[in-house]
A and B are shown apart, each in its own frame.
Chain A
Amino acid sequence: MPEHSRRNVLKSGGAAAAAVMAPLPDGPRPVTAPHQVRQAAQPKAVTDLTLEVNGERHRLEGVEARVTLLDALRERAGLTGAKKGCDRGECGACTVLADGRRIKACLTLAVMQDGRSITTVEGLARGERLHPVQEAFIRRDAFQCGICTPGQIMSAVACIEEGHTGSEDEIREWMSGNLCRCSCYPNIVDAVADAAKAVR
């Protein structure tokens, strides 16, 4: 299978990423409350920020304020699972979870997410064990080219968590923020329905 060679490439990628985005030593969890104790805020064009990505705390240093969360993940943290399809919130390929809720990573600045917990598609599997949504997507052939899939899967995880899987029509509506140009929509609906059962 092609997996083997691909996985090796990914491993070397991960090592390179660590240089840019070093996990912090254990310590207090990042604060997400609105009132952090801090000095009077000063406008900055370049900032340092902390994100908890897929359960690991990361410090991103010297990030321009204009960098989106998506570009911070992709171009600076080496996490290319979230995809850029439109950069305008119109396709959903960049969907990630922020503090457990689905957002479009191209529509927020990385610095606006400082201190938050971000989950990307890379963070769903537990070792070799896939998340039920991932398994359902494979079984139901809920993708063709796969470029929208990370976003579809993150949206599906949230959709199930939100409880919007009561009927096929409800799934269709609540999965409509993610475009699939290969148009695997019926299979996506089947996969989300399957996974919703598996998760409960």
Chain B
Amino acid sequence: MRDFSYVRPDAAAEAVRLVARSADATFVAGGTDLLNLMKDGAEDHALVVDISRLPLAGIEESGGRLRIGAMARMADVALHPVVPKRLPLLSQALLASASPQVRTMATIGGNLLQRTRCWYFRGTGFACNKREPGSGCAALEGRSRWHAVLGGGDHCIAVHPSDLAVALRALDATVHTLGPDGARTVSLADFYREPGDTPHIDNALRHGELITAVEVPLPPAGTHQRYLKLRDRATFEFAVVSVAAVLRTRGRIVEEARLAFGGIATQPWRSAEAEAALRGKPLTERNIAAAGRVLVRDAQPREDNEFKVELVQRALQDVLGRYTGGSR
């Protein structure tokens, strides 16, 4: 890790100003990902601006929405009185993330901005377009067990690793930011970027812009919510495949199914077509299977991750299957 300067300003605007004015500056909040990236040489910053103590950690419910300050710790959000009750999906996704220690350190904003766990990205010396634009992608011909089958391309197939982001995608969350040009709001649907030919750009944030809060509309009572995370070991591991589901039914008929997927795509993945395949139809094993097939229609698997195409469909069946009442 290079020798860098550190500063802890008292106000968000000052933090933004400090980062915005120098190209090799960055924010640190929990630090749980940034320190690793810098130790591994995947990122290199001359100035680190500490925002962890800014008064942005509040969690407030109002007008049918929950506003979560970007500096709120994962553990505090997961166990906040409103969250397990009204947003169990969010609570489940957070508690399935990382380890208890990291959850007391890592912030909601930082979690959304964590970078891919692709070992070709984190292992300097491998070609990686995300780390070094134009250098190539070693993962394409490499060991791709942890890589995307959707949303990739010729430049990058790295998976976005956040469980939280998958849950928030299904919950239609929005992100509040503060940048050199002031505050703005971005839907999470527009926040993450497909790699295209610029895989070094993960998201919509501009340099010097920070997340100040995440806002989640509270689903109406009676909405089913569930997060399923599949991985090789029982816990303390990134997802191999994950599914977040927000489901409203009337009788057996699906009124709305919001489905987001982790582990299979370059960003937290939603498939409007798969959701449409369920909307207005009875929730049956067969209809879930049809939605699953739509989901993976454009999948581009490789030898090591081909199983994800099948596994994610089964995971969807597992998540929604419990609400079918046994209907095939």
Enumerate chain A interface residues (CB-CB to B < 8 A): 34-36, 38, 40-45, 47, 64-66, 68, 87-89, 92, 95, 101-104, 106-109, 111-112, 114, 155, 158-159, 162, 164, 173-174, 176-178
Query: CB < 8 Å: which of A45, A107, A158, A164 contacts B35?
Result: A107
B3 close to chain A: CB less than 8 A: yes
Q: Is the CB of B31 within 8 A of A42?
A: no
Size of interface on B: residues with Cβ below 8 Å to A: 38
- Per the bound structure, the CA–CA distance linking A36 and B10 in Å amounts to 8
Known contacts A41-B8, A44-B6, A64-B3; is-contact A108 B100 (Cβ 8 Å): no
Q: A47-B6, A102-B100 are in contact. List 12 more A-B contacts (CB 8 A).
A: A34-B55, A38-B10, A64-B3, A66-B38, A104-B32, A104-B105, A107-B35, A109-B6, A112-B28, A112-B31, A176-B235, A177-B101
Q: Is the CB of B105 within 8 A of A103?
A: yes
Which of A34, A42, A44 has its CB near the most chain B CB atoms (within 10 A)?
A34
12 intermolecular pairs with C-beta atoms under 8 Å apart: A43-B6, A43-B49, A47-B6, A66-B3, A88-B36, A89-B32, A89-B102, A103-B104, A103-B105, A104-B99, A109-B35, A177-B100
- Per the bound structure, the CA–CA distance linking A111 and B49 in Å amounts to 12
Q: Is the CB of A92 within 8 A of B4?
A: no
Q: Is the CB of B100 within 8 A of A158?
A: yes
Q: Is the CB of B7 within 8 A of A41?
A: yes
Query: CB < 8 Å: which of A34, A43, A64, A111 contacts B54?
Result: A34
Known contacts A159-B100, A174-B100, A176-B235; is-contact A34 B31 (Cβ 8 Å): no
Which of B3, B49, B101, B102 has its CB near the most chain A CB atoms (within 10 A)?
B101
Known contacts A66-B1, A66-B4, A107-B36; is-contact A41 B9 (Cβ 8 Å): yes
Output the nearest chain B residue to A108 by Cβ-Cβ distance: B31
